A and B are shown apart, each in its own frame.
Chain A
Amino acid sequence: MRPSFLNIPGTLTLLAVAAAWEASVQSGAVTFEYLPAPSGIIIALVDLVSSGELAANTAHTMRSVLIGWILSIAIGSGLGLLFGLSAFARRYFLASLEVLRPLPAIAFLPVALLLFSFSLTTELIIIVYASVWPMFVNTMGGITNVSSRLHDVSLTLQLSRRRALTKVLIPAAAPAIMVGCRLCMGTALVMAIIAEMIGNPHGLGYAVVSALQAMRPERMFAYVIFVGVLAISLNACLILASRQLLSGHTREVSHHA
Chain B
Amino acid sequence: MPKRRKSFGFLLSGLPALRGLLPLVLFLATWQAIDPQGSPYFPPPSTWWVSIVTLTKSGRLLPALNATLMTFVLAIAIACVLGGAAGILIGRSPIARRALGPLLEFCRGLPPPVVVPVAVLLLGYVESLKLVIVVLVVVWPILLNTASSTSALSELLLDVSRTLRLSRIATLRKIVLPAAVPAFLVGVRGAVPLAIIITLLVEMITSLPGIGSLIVISQRQFRSSEVYGLLIVAGLIGFFLNSLFIVIEGLLLSRWPPRASYAEGG
Contacts and interface: CB of A to CB of B under 8 A. Distances in A.
Interface stretch (A89-97, A153-161, A170-178, A240-248): A89-97
Please classify how large the interface on chain A is, using the bins under 10, 10 to 19, 20 to 34, 35 or more: 35 or more
A181 interface: no
Nearest to A103: B235
Interface in B81-115: 95, 98-103, 105-106, 109-114
Contact of A96 (B21, B112, B204): B21
Contacts of A93: 20, 23
Contacts of B116: 197
A155 B90 CA distance: 50
B118 A102 contact: no
A96 B26 CA distance: 10
A220 interface: yes
A114 to B, nearest CB: 6
Interface residues of B, number: 60
Contact of B122 (A13, A34, A102, A231): A34
Contacts of B121: 34, 212, 217, 220
Q: Is the interface of A mostly helix, strand, loop or mixed?
A: helix
B67 interface: no
B70 interface: no
Interface in A184-224: 189-190, 193-194, 197-198, 205, 208-209, 211-212, 217, 220-221, 223-224
Given A198-B205, A228-B109, A231-B110, A95 B100 contact: no
A208 B114 contact: yes
A64 to B, nearest CB: 14
A114 B120 contact: no
B118 A92 contact: no
A152 to B, nearest CB: 23
A103 B16 contact: no
Given A95-B20, A114-B41, A228 B231 contact: no
B10 to A, nearest CB: 17
Contacts of B34: none
Contacts of B230: 107, 110
B24 A103 contact: no
Contacts, number: 168
Contacts of B237: 104
A197 B238 CA distance: 22
B22 interface: yes
Interface string A135-178: 00000000000000000000000000000000000000000000
Contacts of B101: 7, 10
B80 interface: no
Contacts of B95: 9
B18 A95 contact: yes
A102 B14 CA distance: 14
A206 to B, nearest CB: 11
Interface in A95-109: 95-96, 98-100, 102-109
A90 B1 CA distance: 11
B122 A7 contact: no
Contacts of B224: 114
B17 interface: yes
A209 B24 contact: no
B167 to A, nearest CB: 31
A106 B204 contact: yes
Interface in A77-123: 90-96, 98-100, 102-111, 113-115
B51 interface: no
Given A95-B21, A111-B228, 11 more contacts: A9-B98, A10-B101, A96-B21, A96-B24, A102-B242, A104-B234, A110-B215, A114-B219, A114-B227, A198-B204, A205-B113
Interface of B: 16-24, 27, 41, 95, 98-103, 105-106, 109-114, 116-118, 120-122, 189, 193, 196-197, 200-201, 204-205, 211-212, 215-216, 218-219, 222, 224, 227-228, 230-231, 234-235, 237-239, 241-242, 264
